[in-house]
Structure 1
C-alpha cells in the first residue's frame, strides 16, 4: 500500500498546466479538511517588478475583492513569505486590518493555514489552505502539521516545473564551468584583466566566456548578467 505522500507526489507530478495543478491541489486540500486552496509564486526576476502568479480555488468574488481593495498590502500571510514557520489563523484573534478579516470571513474563509517555500533559484511560493468553519484544534495541528509542510514543498516543486519554462526560462540555462568561474570572479569586483590573470587566460578569452554567458542569460550587460546568475543560484 502506498503512503499518503506517495499518492500526492504522483497526483501533483502528473500535472502539466496551471489548471491541472489547481485541480490536484484542491483534491488534496479537501482530503486535509479544507474547502479552499491557493498557491502564489513570486519569480525573482525582473528585480524591479517581480512577476507573481496566483492560482486559487477561493470564491471568485473574494478574489476580485482581494485585487480591487489591494488586500495584499494588509494580508499577514504574505508578510510572512520570508519565514518558513506556518501561519495559522482561526476565530477572530487577528491583528491588522479589521475590514480585511471581516471580508474574508464573509466569503467563507474562517480559518486557515499558510506556509512559504523557497528554492535555490530564488523563487518564493506560498501555499494557503482555508475553510468555512473557524475552529482549528490542537490535535488537528499536531496530526496534520507534517503532511501540510510536506505538501507546501511538493506543491512548490510541481508548480515550478510548470511555470519556470514559461516565466523564468533563464533558470534552465546551462552555463559552462568556465562561464560560471568568470562570472563569479566578476561578481567579486574583478576586471576582465584581473580575472584573466587569476585564471591564467587572456582578457579576450575572459570576455568571450562572459559574452557567451550573457547571451544564455538574456542579459544586456555584465552587471545584469552577474546579478541574474547569482540570483538564480549559478554562482
Structure 2
C-alpha cells in the first residue's frame, strides 16, 4: 500500500453507499466544510447521460431544480472547463458577477455560502465531480485554500474508484469483442473493409460482419460513427 493509499484507506475499503456518504462527510468536516456531494455522469449509447449522486444536503434543499441548474454559474463554469477539469472556487462574488444573486441568496439560506467543486474527467464518456460547501466564506489565506483544493483533488481521485465499483458504472459501456475493436481501430486509420480484411487475415465478409455487430452495439448509423463512439468510450 502506497502512502497515499494509507491516507485514504477507509475510502478505498467502502462497500456501500451509506458508508461512502459517511466517509465523504468525515472528509469534508476534517478540512472545514459542512456539505459534500459526489456526482457521476455517464454517457450512454443513445446520447443521454445517466447520473448518480450522493450528498448530505438538508432535505429542504432542492439541489437538482432544473430551472436553477440552467442558470447556476457553477454549472456553467464547470461546463466551460469540460476539456480540462479544473477546481472551481465559488461564493457570492461569482453569483454577483453573473447576475444570479437570487440563486445564491436561496442557497445561502440553506447553509450554502461558498465552496469548491473539483471535476475529474475519468474517460471521455464519464465524469466525476466532488463538491464541498459551507455556511461561511472561503478562507482569506490562499495557502489554506490551496491545501483544501489539494486534499479535495486527492479525495476525488480515490472516491472515483469506489463510485465506479459501488454503482457498477462500466455496465453502461457497450462490450465489444477483440475482433470488433480491431476492425474499428483500422477503420479509424482510414482503412476500407477490404483492407481491414487483409490486415487481419479474414474475409471481407467477416470484417463487415464484425463492423456491423459493433455498429449495432454502439447504436451507430455507420462504421465511422461506430469508430467515433468507441473512441469516445475509451475503447480504442
**Smaller-chain TM-score range?**
0.7 to 0.9
Deviations 1:67-102 (A, max 9, x none): 335221122332214142211124545332111111
Cα distance in 1 for partners of 2:67, 2:161 equals 28
The answer to whether the aligner puts 1:146 opposite 2:150 as a matched pair is: yes
**Aligned partner of residue 48 in structure 1, secondary structure:** coil
Q: How does 1:166-185 map to 2 (within 5 A)?
A: 167-171=169-173, 173=175, 175-176=177-178, 178-185=179-186
Cα distance in 2 for partners of 1:34, 1:75 equals 21
Cα distance in 1 for partners of 2:215, 2:16 equals 30
Aligned length: 227
The answer to whether the aligner puts 1:109 opposite 2:112 as a matched pair is: yes
* TM-score, normalised via structure 2 length: 0.81
Residue matched to 1:99: 102
Contact 2:44 2:172 in 1 (8 A): no
Residue matched to 1:72: 69
Cα distance in 2 for partners of 1:172, 1:156 equals 20
**Aligned partner of residue 129 in structure 1, secondary structure:** strand
Q: CA RMSD in A?
A: 2.8
Cα distance in 1 for partners of 2:170, 2:184 equals 20
Cα distance in 2 for partners of 1:175, 1:153 equals 29
- Measure how far apart 1:234 and its partner are: 1.3
Cα distance in 2 for partners of 1:228, 1:20 equals 35
- Measure how far apart 1:200 and its partner are: 4.0
Residue matched to 1:25: 24
Deviations 1:14-61 (A, max 9, x none): 223333322221111111111100111110214532112222211222
In structure 2, the CA distance between the partners of 1:34 and 1:172, relative to structure 1 (3 Å rule), is farther
After the TM superposition, which of the residue ranges 30-39 and 113-122 deviates more from structure 2?
113-122
Deviations 1:157-199 (A, max 9, x none): 2212222x3x5415383632x3322011234554422322343
Contact 1:15 1:158 in 2 (8 A): yes
Residue matched to 2:56: 57
Aligned counterpart for 1:123 among listed residues 122, 126, 139: 126
Contact 1:90 1:136 in 2 (8 A): no
In structure 2, the CA distance between the partners of 1:93 and 1:76, relative to structure 1 (3 Å rule), is closer
After the TM superposition, which of the residue ranges 189-198 and 147-156 deviates more from structure 2?
189-198
